[in-house]
Amino acid sequence: MTKPSSPSLPMEYSDEVAAARARGAPIVALESTIITHGMPYPGNLNMARSVEAIIREQGAVPATIAVIHGVLHIGLDDAKLEALSKTEGAMKLSRADLAFAIAERRTGATTVAATMIAAARAGISVFATGGIGGVHRGAEQSFDISADLDELARTGVIVVCAGAKAILDIPKTLEVLETRGVPVVTYDSETFPAFWSRDSGIKSPLMLNSPAAIANFQKMRDLLGIDGGMLVANPVPEESEIPREEMEIYITRALDNAASDEIVGKAVTPYLLDNLFHMTDGRSLETNIALVENNARLAAEIAVALTAK
Ligand code: PSU
Ligand code: MN
């Protein structure tokens, strides 16, 4: 009797990423939920392209991660990036359902958690995004805490973000990260950033002000055998920020709308983002693009510093 052959993981590298792996070049992973669920077309495609270009300018290679018809892609060529940016109804994949989408040959975008899993599997140690998921306001009632936080605790990837959106409960998000032993390092700022705004008003646990220092910190964690990820929080450039007090007004309104529309689970974050986009006449999107670009630049610099001897 022949044994059934065991399946292998359907995983595909873009040509550019495969070449970078072969020569040991620095690679920066990018998530795709921000493309399918975080921004409308065509802003999402422009953002995805410019972020990739910025990473290349810094001497690293971008690897946008997504599941397309059941294949886990590490790096998307421009045609695939464009197709994904126009895809309606893509799944939003986290740790719970990344393998489901592959097994069922579905198309889905990866959240921070799923992108970390895929990046680690591909040997990529730095990842740039906009904002991470966290503890939602009212989590004491809803129990809504993003799987991104658990993933940061267990998977060894450096995640560069612009802090957490004030749609979340930022103090509780930082408490969970501390409990789970995730280092939170703010780049060149004393306070933890709040996505559209440079300052959440909350003091940052750790601060470093160069990519080399961040790379060196990670090397010491490795030498100590400390696994799990690191969160690097990079404030949005001053010229692109929206003041905290102004955003707070929109956020309160968006949260009220979510409650009256009875939005729950995975739909919460995309619903709030879409609400804010309309309330700010697209200004929130411009800020969002500027901060992702800023994070891509820093992530590439960290990836380069990590490969330096
Ligand atoms: N926060 C943002 N923009 C985003 C997301 C979060 O400011 O696009 C996306 C990311 O992909 C993140 C996910 O991993 O939402 C978190 O979703 P949830 O809160 O359902 O875990
Ligand atoms: Mn959630």
Instruction: List the catalytic residue out of 16, 52, 151, 165.
Output: 165
Measured from the Cα of 38, ligand 1's closest atom is 8
Closest residue by Cα to atom 17, ligand 1, is 133
Residues of the chain with pLDDT under 50: none
pLDDT tens readout for residues 154-178: 999 999 999 998 889 999 999 999 9
Structure tokens at 196: 């559209």
What phi, psi does 213 have (nearest 5°)?
A: -65, -35
From the list 32, 19, 126, 27, the residue with the least C-alpha distance to 72 is: 32
Type of residue found at 150: D
Report the C-alpha gap between 194 and 12 in whole angstroms: 35
The verdict on whether 165 is a catalytic residue reads yes
Q: What pLDDT is stored for residue 2 in this prediction?
A: 61
The verdict on whether 80 is a catalytic residue reads no
Q: Are 164 and 173 in contact (CB under 8 A)?
A: yes
Q: What pLDDT is stored for residue 165 in this prediction?
A: 86
User: How many angstroms is it from 100 CA to the middle of ligand 2?
Assistant: 18
Q: Are 121 and 17 in contact (CB under 8 A)?
A: no
What is the CB < 6 Å shell around ligand 1?
31, 33-34, 38, 111-112, 130-131, 133, 146-148, 165, 195, 266, 269
Instruction: List the catalytic residue out of 31, 52, 241, 293.
Output: 31
Report the C-alpha gap between 29 and 39 in whole angstroms: 19
In this structure, are strands 184-187 and 206-208 parallel, antiparallel, or unpaired?
parallel
Give Cβ neighbours of residue 260 (< 8 Å, ≥ 6 apart). Answer: none
28 is in an annotated binding site: no
Q: What pLDDT is stored for residue 166 in this prediction?
A: 81
Q: Are 75 and 128 in contact (CB under 8 A)?
A: no
Q: What pLDDT is stored for residue 282 in this prediction?
A: 86
Measured from the Cα of 147, ligand 1's closest atom is 21
Q: Is the ipTM of this complex over 0.95?
A: yes
